[in-house]
Amino acid sequence: MGITLSQFFSEGDDAISLTPEQRELLDNWSALTFEKQQVVKELLRKM
């Protein structure tokens, strides 16, 4: 078929492949509290 399992099971047409670095960032983000996520978002906005 020419597709990956993640593409097969993804919803919609927007299949996303993450690099190992992107996966690490998302994993770390998920471990943050809501308040810490807000701090990180504000930091990124100011960069």
User: Which residue range forms the structural domain that includes residue 28?
Assistant: 18-46
1 occurs within a structural domain: no
Place of tokens 């978002």: 41
- 1-47: per-residue pLDDT in tens? 577 777 677 766 666 788 899 999 999 999 999 999 999 999 999 99
38 occurs within a structural domain: yes
Residues 6+ apart with CB under 8 A from 7: 15
Q: What is the pTM of this model?
A: 0.61
Dihedral sign of CA atoms 32, 24, 41, 44 in order:
positive
Contact 15, 7 (CB under 8 A): yes
The domain tally of the chain equals 1
d(CA 30, CA 19): 17
Tokens, residue 43: 């930091």
In this prediction, residue 5 carries a pLDDT of: 75
2 occurs within a structural domain: no
11 occurs within a structural domain: no
Tokens, residue 12: 């919609």
In this prediction, residue 7 carries a pLDDT of: 67
In this prediction, residue 4 carries a pLDDT of: 72
